[in-house]
Chains A and B, each alone.
Chain A
Amino acid sequence: MFLNRIAALLFSVTTFTCFSQNTAVIKDTLTLHTLDEIVVTATRTMRQLSTVPMPVILISKKQIQNTGTTRLKEILLEQTGINFATDQSGFTGVQMQGLSSEYVMVMIDGVPVIGRSSGNLDLNRITVNNIKQIEVVKGPTSSLYGSEALGGVINIITEHLEKDTSKGDIRYFTRVGSRNELDLNTNFLFRKDKLSLVAGINLNSSGGFDLSPETVVKTTEAYQNYTGNLKVSYDFSKKLTLVASQRYFYEEQAERNFQRDWNSNIELRHKMNNIWDFEYTFYTTKFKTESQFNSEVAVFNQTLTRPEIRATANFKNSTVISGIGINFDALGRTFFGKKETFNSKYIFSQFDFHPIERMNVVVGARFDSHNKYKSAFSPKIASTYKINDWIQAKASVGYGFKAPDFRQLFFNFNNAAGGYVVLGTQTLHNLYGSAPNVQATSKDLKPENAIGYNFGLEIKPIANLKIHTNIFRNDIKDLINTVALPGGVADLGPTTAVFYYENRDQVFTQGIEFDINYKFSENVRFTGGYQYLEAKDKEDIRKIEAGTIFLRRTPNSPSEILKKEAYFGLSNRSKHTANAKLFYTNLKHNFSANIRAIYRSKYALFDTNNSQNIIDRYDDFVAGNTQVNVSIQKTFFGIMNLQFGIDNIGNEKGLKNKNKFQNTDAVLFLGRSFYTSVRFNL
């Protein structure tokens, strides 16, 4: 407690000077890094975790290593309020505050990862090797990051060296049991004087697995992938630093699906004087897949290029950060007529100040102007107020948006056998714009947009106990849905169903989350988290209130009216999710162990009782489930670390869901698996 306060004091003294100045100050920053938890994502400035006025989760390297995880998805799954959902397209993505993957931006060092499948970003693509920490900001963050940051952002912070170093490690990880996996890492970290180098290679492979051997299709086909990353930074002077980061990922699956993604971020940091810092970044990323299905090759090739300039002004009691940039986004894809491009210019600014000593206010806004859809303005205000020595209140309100994606505008997908076509709005109007029923639809899509409210308390009643609560509400409107075009299109015949995209739905998500962190002793620490969530569709509620929705309790029962109290909410949302983790560390013997339990209550996949896609309590649900993971590790001679772990020790496979959802692997879980890893620190 006392220590924390000292750290806070130290921090507030150094925070506004740490960017510039001289070596002495840089040293201070270093001690702070080790003393307390510094995050950068929520405000784009370095902040101590507990002072940030938005709900933030920080996952440290230590936690990543202790839990024996290899991919980003696995470690996120164990955090409060973060779930993974497989939607009807069959792709899996992250879910935060009840918002699905397409509304969560995933970044590496502050620049976005691209390449989504039906809005879902595959987080198994990202290795946790060479990560310093992961920062998760919940709630709309579009005021800083623009489109996609509607529900929040996940930012992976890679290793960064500030003092002379020369070290490396090699890790060999194998998993057997319900799935096999091999994960090899090697990292090299070096800094001497002005030059710093962080390099890593990761190889990850698996023979795949099949949760339903009775079906033809395997759940996950065998794959192998490689990730290489290299970050070079050079200090031209105390005021000028150049950082160049490269990452390359290649995956081959089942000898017919290939995926490559590559990103390069070049950043020039210029500390002009005590007040002004300038950062010039040039980011390019490319994501390409080739997948073979029924002897046809489908190609998806997306690129994003983003020059951005940011200026930070550090005043005595406030910080101003402003930025300007352009996104050049392009996608060439099978099912598109031609390669399509987007470009959007944006400008943002944020003012961070202390109107009174106990209070910190962060006000920001961003304007995105786009060539293919309507512009978006995203303001946000957040503040903290220190009620007393041990209670701090945090509140924030912000706008978030998600731009229509390429698919929603340019898709041209014809499933002749299935008797339907899916057309982006622009494609629909370009091809069939003369038809009256097409003219009745909107050609322009609006960005999906939301207002998010977060109110939290951070309580430290005693020195070794921290409690954090947060109440949230997100009101999202203009959600883009696939809608059937009434009457179809004459050219395609009356029997072909025509689907297109339209801004239609209004939904809300709300809930409360609790986090508790209790240190029993120097050796034993407990953390627990819980989230209660409601996610509902406003139009569905109106229909239910009007008494126009009916259901059948069993497939053969007569219809009955769906009553409001029987309405469950959106698919793939669990009302209750919880995690409990116990960590034991024995410093004397370099030994540590942990047990972690993750619970998720029942959730629906889709409407199963013909109530117009509305999920009610009589629908079929995926049963609630708990997964328990354990891991132990010991370091020998200071250089060799041995780890052994069991994931899903209770062998929870979700078999009881099998009868309700046939041929749906998403309702089944991987059974027990065992892993060992050995790491040499050199």
Chain B
Amino acid sequence: MRNLKSIIGIAFIGLLAGACNNNEEIVLEPVALKSVINIHAPLTTDYSVNPPSESGDFTKFSLRLGTVVSNDLWDIAFRGTSIIVNGGSEIGLTDEPMRTGNGALALETGTFGSIVEAPMSTAFKQDATDTYALTKGSGNGWYTYNRQTNQISPIAGKVIVVKTNDGHYAKIEIISYYKDNDASKAENGRYYSFNYVYNPNTGDNKLE
């Protein structure tokens, strides 16, 4: 046991040194730009009550896998324009999934390319009772709503940096809220397309 501890200790020092010296022995997995299209995030709204109530399952997404998942290993989840993160506690919504991880997110301003590393931990927020980590509402978070055209548009220059449920960093730029990027029909709404960069190295805050 003592041996094991010292081995780990040595390995850790070696790893640190390796990281500092950019030693080739430690191979960091490449950070790649990926994109997903048409992630469907349906929502049921009941207008018979005032204020209208929202329900329906959130569409849970894993940044590590790059797909929609149904288990607890999700990072962010979508329902309509709401985005929640797998970290913190339940907001108090109908059909809301349990928070099982320690994820968080930060809404950064800049071009996608200019966000080269995750911000300081103080910028990250988690969901909490009655509070979204990513503020809801037109102009408050990631989108604006145009009352004339009834369209949702992602605000240019908004990048969501996510700390995943297992402590990886990723950045997301939402490109479209409409199926096949076609906002001309209202029924195309609630389909997310976004670009993202996921750093597969745990705790490494580099995002390029």
Chain A residues at the B interface, C-beta cutoff of 8 Å: 88, 416-420, 484, 486, 488, 492-497, 548-552, 555-556, 558-561, 606, 609-613, 662
Contact = CB atoms under 8 A, between A and B. Distances in A.
Contacts of B205: none
B138 interface: yes
Given A555-B183, A559-B173, A610 B148 contact: no
Given A417-B47, A558-B195, A662-B184, A497 B137 contact: yes
Interface residues of B, number: 37
B148 to A, nearest CB: 5
Contacts of B51: 492-496
B50 A416 contact: yes
A420 B130 CA distance: 20
> Looking at A548, A551, A612, which has the most chain B CB atoms within 10 Å of its CB?
A612
Contacts of B111: 550, 558-561
Given A88-B148, A610-B153, A611-B156, A497 B52 contact: no
Contacts of A488: 137
A560 B193 CA distance: 18
B47 A416 contact: yes
Given A493-B51, A550-B111, A611-B156, 5 more contacts: A551-B156, A556-B193, A558-B112, A610-B156, A612-B144
Contacts of A560: 111, 156
A421 to B, nearest CB: 11
Nearest to B137: A497
B54 A495 contact: yes
Contacts of B54: 495
A57 B155 CA distance: 44
A559 B136 contact: no
B44 interface: no
Contacts of B30: none
Contact of B157 (A88, A486, A496, A548): A548
Nearest to B193: A556
Contacts of B159: 559
B144 A558 contact: no
A272 to B, nearest CB: 57
Contact of A606 (B138, B145, B148): B148
Contacts of A548: 109, 157
The 7 A-B pairs of least Cβ separation, nearest first, read: A550-B157, A493-B51, A550-B156, A559-B156, A610-B156, A610-B153, A559-B157
Contacts of B175: 555-556
Contacts of A550: 109-111, 155-158
Contact of B52 (A88, A419, A613): A419
A7 B159 CA distance: 70
A662 B139 CA distance: 23
B50 A493 contact: yes
A435 B204 CA distance: 43
B47 A549 contact: no
B138 A484 contact: yes
14 contacts: A416-B47, A418-B147, A418-B150, A484-B138, A484-B139, A495-B52, A496-B51, A549-B156, A550-B109, A555-B176, A556-B193, A558-B111, A611-B156, A611-B157
A610 B181 contact: no
Contacts of A556: 175-176, 181, 193
A215 to B, nearest CB: 13
Contacts of A613: 144
Nearest to A557: B175
Nearest to B159: A559
A548 B176 CA distance: 21
> Looking at B139, B156, B158, B173, which has the most chain A CB atoms within 10 Å of its CB?
B156
Contacts of B145: 497
Given A558-B195, A559-B156, A609-B156, A497 B138 contact: yes
Nearest to B132: A494
Interface in B71-116: 109-113
B171 to A, nearest CB: 12
Contacts of B193: 556
Contact of B173 (A492, A558, A609): A558
B154 interface: yes
B154 A610 contact: yes
B129 interface: no
Given A419-B52, A558-B111, A561-B111, A610 B195 contact: no
A552 B154 CA distance: 10
> Looking at A484, A492, A550, A606, which has the most chain B CB atoms within 10 Å of its CB?
A550
> Looking at B50, B138, B157, B181, which has the most chain A CB atoms within 10 Å of its CB?
B157
A587 to B, nearest CB: 53
Contacts of B157: 548-551, 559, 561, 611
B140 interface: yes
B112 A559 contact: yes
A486 B140 contact: yes
B95 to A, nearest CB: 15
B121 interface: no
B146 interface: yes
Given A416-B50, A552-B156, A556-B176, A610 B138 contact: no
A327 to B, nearest CB: 33
B153 A558 contact: no
Contacts of A416: 47, 50, 52
A612 B155 CA distance: 7
Contacts of A493: 50-52
Given A549-B157, A606-B148, A610-B156, A484 B137 contact: yes
A556 B179 CA distance: 12
B154 to A, nearest CB: 6
Contacts of A559: 111-112, 156-159, 173
Contacts of B139: 484, 612
Contacts of A496: 51
A559 B111 CA distance: 5
Contacts of B130: 494
A552 B156 CA distance: 6
A437 to B, nearest CB: 13
Interface in B37-64: 47, 50-52, 54
A613 B139 CA distance: 10
A606 B157 CA distance: 18
Interface in B150-195: 150, 153-159, 173, 175-176, 181, 183-184, 193, 195
